[in-house]
Amino acid sequence: MSVGEAGSIGFGKPLTPSNTPIPGMVVWDLPVHGDSRGWFKENWQREKMVGLGLPDFAPVQNNISFNDAVGTTRGIHAEPWDKWVSVATGRIFGAWVDLRSGPTFGAVFTAEIDPSRAIFVPRGVGNAYQTLEPDTAYTYLVNDHWSADASYTFLNLADETAAIAWPIPLSEVEISDKDRAHPRLADVTPMGPRKTLVIGAGGQLGRALRAVYGDQSDVDYATRAELDLTDPGLPTARRWRDYGLIINAAADTAVDGAETAEGRARAWSANAAGVATLARIASENAITLVHVSSDYVFDGTAERPYVETDLFSPLGVYGQTKAAGDAIVSTVARHYIVRTSWVIGDGRNFVRTMAGLAERGVDPTVVADQVGRLSFTDDIARGIRHLVDSRAPFGTYNLTCNGEPASWADLARSVYELTGHDPARVSGTTTDEYFASATGPVAPRPRNSVLDLGKILGAGFAPGDMRAKLAAYLAAEA
């Protein structure tokens, strides 16, 4: 068929996706139904297409470019959003060039698109076309609004490296001055990936996440002073569409303080209301949200390790706020809830306290009727990155050390022994006896904090053995 000759629409094709050499870019054959009156098609049908693998890209705008002449040529533009490109009437020769940083930078794909075909173009892939029939209406859905603050990337239509075989020579068509002035591939600044944001970067887990993610240019870190979940200005604090992943390592963890009037309000503000704002931001901007949970969402009465699907039954205010935060995050389409217990990292913690007491000659009395496993922050950080990088199914994952559970008193004795002190110096007691003389508010604690690790192990991540991790931690402290 020569350029300009009326083409026939491919009626009766099944809805079928076909991959291209550009990762994430997929051509779709669309069912078109026609008779003597004309034709009809479902140009975009979320349920069917998502079921066949199309990303649920949540379009917010539909644009149409009408071209009345054959040969109309529009330049190679890469925007920071995804596109669903199709033709309402007419026919185009489409050209796409991967302008994202990475091994496929510069990869080219071309195809003819008529009303019976569409193409999903991921963020950062340059898009251009040339009309092959008069009165061609080129239409595209996008999942973000144009912004002067966004980052755009362009490539010259005549770039010799891409070497696009335009059906009509570029010397014979109308091209805008802007498109003629765009750079060659060697001078293009690749579009980077959507960024990662670690919130609560000043805390124990935040510092461990810094160690895991390092100084990557696409990872931002925010301490509470820089980004507070309780700040009413949070929804506009960043250009959120630039982010693809948020790791929320921030929380109000004052377990006993949450039992006071002031502490209760503070805990609900940070652990529930602030998390709700963050969840809304993630949902509105197609961001994957990682949220860190706690064994305190359970009452500890189970006679087995807790699994991810067990119902919430928090005993105190802190646990209630964490359960509320988990419930909110679970409504985000792309989410990981990482549930931990007895967190140990770079900061004040039980292990350091016991080591200090041992060194000073103190013989402590430690609770012996609460049983669980430690969670070292380096394990939590590595586990989070594993879930994200491996694209594990979204949902909740328990993540603590592996190995035989122990009581706080058992762990204290291990600390004494590993630091060269007599473990018999540690005495055990009950929770009720331990807190009997407390002068301030005391939050109820779950007696059983053991979390089942089957799901995280099934996702390919192996947490460290608790006693081996404890020994290594103390050795590093020495």
Which residues are designated catalytic? 77, 140
- Closest Cα partner for 366 from 418, 314, 414, 295? 414
Residues 63/40, Cβ–Cβ less than 8 Å: no
3-state secondary structure of 304: coil
Strands 73-78 and 125-131: antiparallel
289 is written with which tokens? 């949200």
In this structure, the number of other CB atoms found within 10 A of the CB of residue 8 comes to 10
The span from the CA of 473 to the CA of 469, in Å, is 6
Cα 116 off chain centre by: 34
3-state secondary structure of 14: coil
Instruction: Give the start-end residues of each E strand in 159-264.
Output: 195-199, 219-222, 243-248
The span from the CA of 343 to the CA of 399, in Å, is 11
DSSP state at residue 270:
I
Q: How many CA atoms lie within 13 A of 373 on its CB side?
A: 28
- Closest Cα partner for 373 from 337, 414, 336, 335? 414
